[in-house]
Structure formats: C-alpha cells, structure tokens
Amino acid sequence: MLFLTHVFSGISSSLQTIIAEQFSINIITQLANKLTKVKNLNFFENKDHTIKLNAIHNGLYIRPLNYVSNLFFNLQRIIGLVSLFGILFSISIYLPFIMIFATVPCIFISNHIAKKHSASIDKLQDKKESIQNYLYSGLDNQKNKDNLLFNFMLNFHHKFIENKELYINHFVKIAQKNLMLTIYADILITTLSIALFFLMVFIILSKLIGVGAIAGYIQAFSSTQQQLQDLSFYGKWFFAINKYFENYFCILDYKMPKPETQIKLEEKIHSITFENISFSYPNSKLIFENFNLSLHSDKIYALVGKNASGKTTLIKLLLGFYIPNSGQIIINNKYSLQDLELNSYHQQMSAIFQDFSLYAGYSIDDNLFMQNNITKEQLKQKREILKSFDENFQNCLNDYSNTLFGAQYNGVDFSLGQKQRIATIRAFLKPNHCVVLDEPSSAIDPIMEKEFLDFIFKKSQSKMALIITHRMNSVKQADEIIVLDQGKLIEQGNFETLMKKQGLFYELFLKQQY
C-alpha cells in the first residue's frame, strides 16, 4: 500500500508539472494571439492594462503551477471526503450534510477575506513595480554603460530604500488587517468544529456500538473535519490564484475599438488629409487643436520644428496608432481613417521610428523582412539596396544574414549607426506607397550622412514620403517643408520659398550654420 501511495504521488507530481507547463504555454499563446489584433498604442499605454500585463508576466511560470497543484489537492480532498461520508452516513444520514452546511459559510468568509486582501495588494502594485524597476534597470543590457558611468545603482539606492520601506509598511498594515480577519474566521470555524464534535458524540452515545467502533467514527469525523478545513483554507488561496487569471481574461476579453463597418483599402494611397484634428495624450494638454494638413503622393515632405512641436505625434496619428479626440484623417478624399481596416492601410505604409526596434533572438534577415518565408526576389531586392552602402556594411549584412541578433543569444551585435541603417533598409524592403522616417540619420556619422540621405531621398521617389529631421541642410531635396511650432502648422513650402520668408525655418537653418 505504501509502495502504491509512493508511486501515485510521483505520477501525480509529474502530471501536475506537465499540465502546468502546457497551461503556461497556452497563456503565452493566447496573449500572443491577442497582441496580433492590437492596432493602436492606447492598449499598451492604458495604465490598467499595464498593471494587469505586469501581473501576468510576473506570475507566468508560478501561477499556473499553483493553480494545478491547488486543483489536484482539492480533488484529492473531495475524493477522500466521499469515502469518509460513507462512514459517517452509517452513524447518521444527516451528519455529513450538517458538516457541509456548516463549512459553506466558512468557505465564503475565507474567500471574502482573500478577496479584500487581494484587492489591497493590487493597490500596492505600483510601489512594488518601482522596487522591481530599480533591479531591472540595473540588469538592463541597454542601460549598462549609463549605469556604470553615472553609478545609477549607488546613487539611486536611497530611493530604492525609501520605496522599499514604504512598500513594506503598507504591506505589513494590510497583512495585520488580514491576520485579524483570519483570526475571527478561525474562531468561528473552531466553534463550529466543537459544536459538530459534540453533536457527533451525542449521536454516537444514542446508539449501541462498541468502543472500537466509537474510536473509528471519531477518527473518521476528525479526518472529515480536517478535509473540510483544508478545502476552506486552500479554497481561499484558490480565489487568490483566480485573481491572476481574472487579469489574464480581462486582457483577452478586451474589445478593440472598431467602427461598425470596416472598409478594406484596396486602392493606392494618393492623399492623406488632416481635417480639424484635435488630439491630446491621456491626462495631458492638447497637442493639436483644429489642425489641418494635406499630403499627396509622389512628394517628399520634410517635417521640421523645435522639440515638442508635435512632429512625432503627427506621424503616430497618420499611421493610425492613435485616434484623434476630434476631427478626421481622410484618405484619398473619401475614407475616414477610423473607418478603414487598419491592416489594409498598414500594408501600404512603412516607417523607421526614432526609437526603432531590432528583435534579439531572431536572424538579421528576420529583422529585415519581418516574415517567415523569404523569397528569392526579396533577397535580390536586399542585395540591390545594399549596393548603395559601403563594402564593409554590405559584407557584414551578407555574412551575418542568418545569424541571430543579440549578444545574449551568442549572436551578433551592431553599432547604433549600423542598427539605424538596418532599420532604414527594412523600411524600404517592405512594399509601400507611403513611408515615414523619423530622424533616420540621427546615429549616422557625418562622413556617411550625405550618402545615406541621398539613398533615402532616392528610394522615396514616387512615394508619399514624410521625413522628420533636425538637420536643416538635409531638407533641401524635399519637395515641401512643413514647419510645426507648438502643434500648429506655421510654414509650408520648398526650401527657397521658406528661406525668402525669413520665418522660423530661416531661423532654425541659420542657427545650424555655426
């Protein structure tokens, strides 16, 4: 019997691990599927979503195992209770039901306590994240140089201690309150247990049974009580674990804002018009108010202005990453961007962002083409584009095309300038009619910059191109220059026109000549 128990325990443990791992992978898969449907940045910048996603991420590998272990444990208790109830039925048909009804309030009380405790802990999530972020920042590969040079870990250690003490103090208060409620619940459970014990003794004494049978019944009663208390206790933790899955299902059930009917854009984009656009980020002042602008195909636009003039926000609106507070973005003089199926719109768009991303753990070609099956024609196109660059860079990308990117994967890494060139090549490898380039030469050295910008302007011919730059000399080749200041369009025209006007563009251009 002991041998069988030991074998069953081993099988149960292995089964729990396998189920939990499959459960965890399924969570990752479902979240990945959800992310394929996200088409705007509001989803990621929603604070409630951020907290939920962080909670899911932090518990991704432990919570599924907790859930499965708890489930197995409770199933074992239920199976045990069925056999014990069979024994207690022989004393009194009512006793098992009385025990169950007495336990149900205890379970509800325990769950109520767990719910309040979990809600209080959730309110501390921001404070806990600030503590974790201190460690994550110290371990972040992208921040290592700054960390070492500016001694981040030491200089901000006092803030970490302050946040830690604040978090611990709040946590202890919550734990103390939870302890008091738990004590009251335990007193109630103990009182009910004693009352049930005396009830059983009364029932036993009313029957003519031997001493051995009495001992057996008392043992069965005690075991039943213990099993019911275990169900009550672990049921409380089952609720706490369920809170994790509430976050998970809340993310999965989130409905992306959609118009009632979505139009698939099949025609080529030849114009984009901003009509009376007003926009602000959540809890921020307006960036654009009644803003108007028209863009047309076969034109290269340069977008310039002082810092925080709205340039990057403008391209995020143009790409459909945000929905304006009011006004409309009209495509081809007939479609509102909000009515379009964004996938069909994005198929015609390409971009390099100021904070562009390369994906560690994927090959260089994966990063360039962003697809699984790369065709011979695409590889030929890549080789043609690379001819515009110096021989060293060509050889580098050809030699490492199938090598993983990222030192943490024992792969290859690049300088920031090389990464920016890779991201720019990716923007032009993607079939598009409209391309947006946000500071595309910010990391390129001065010797290479002219050739690089010549490449960009050459590849942007016959497209609608919007180039954001602070390099005023580079905009001479643009068909039109758009000048923004504090969210307003204050100047528009070619280089010669704006220089003659001697406005803000003229001022910015002259300041860069010294």
Q: pLDDT tens digit string along 24-49?
A: 888 888 888 888 787 777 777 777 77
Cα end-to-end distance, the chain, whole Å? 91
* Contact (CB, 8 A) for 26 and 306: no
CA dist 508 and 472 (Å) reads 7
Does pLDDT of 375 surpass 90? Answer: no
The structure tokens listed for 154 are 């030491």
Q: Topology of domain 264-348+464-514, per CATH?
A: Rossmann fold (3.40.50)
Stretch among 103-107, 188-192, 262-266 having the lowest mean pLDDT: 103-107
What mean pLDDT comes out for the span 261-277? 92
Kindly state the percentage of the chain with pLDDT values over 90.
27
Q: Rank 105-114, 169-178, 295-304 by mean pLDDT and report only the highest.
A: 295-304
Does pLDDT of 292 surpass 50? Answer: yes
Domains 62-253 and 264-348+464-514 alike in fold: no
The residues pairing with 335 across neighbouring beta strands, listed in sequence order, are 331
Q: What is the CATH number of domain 62-253?
A: 1.20.1560.10
Phi and psi based region of residue 405 (left: phi greater than 0; alpha: psi -120 to 50; beta: remaining)? beta
* Contact (CB, 8 A) for 87 and 148: no
| Predicted pLDDT of residue 318 | 95
Does pLDDT of 2 surpass 50? Answer: no
**What are the pLDDT digits (tens) for 228-249?**
777 776 666 666 677 778 888 8
Report helix, strand and coil shares of the chain as percent, to nearest 5: 60, 15, 25
Please tell me which residue, 238 or 278, carries the higher pLDDT value. Answer: 278
Please tell me which residue, 169 or 28, carries the higher pLDDT value. Answer: 169
Does pLDDT of 1 surpass 60? Answer: no
* Contact (CB, 8 A) for 174 and 114: no
Please tell me which residue, 53 or 274, carries the higher pLDDT value. Answer: 274
Domain boundaries, given as residue ranges, for the chain: 62-253, 264-348+464-514
DSSP character string of 307-318: TTSSHHHHHHHH
What mean pLDDT comes out for the span 487-505? 93
Specify the pTM. 0.71
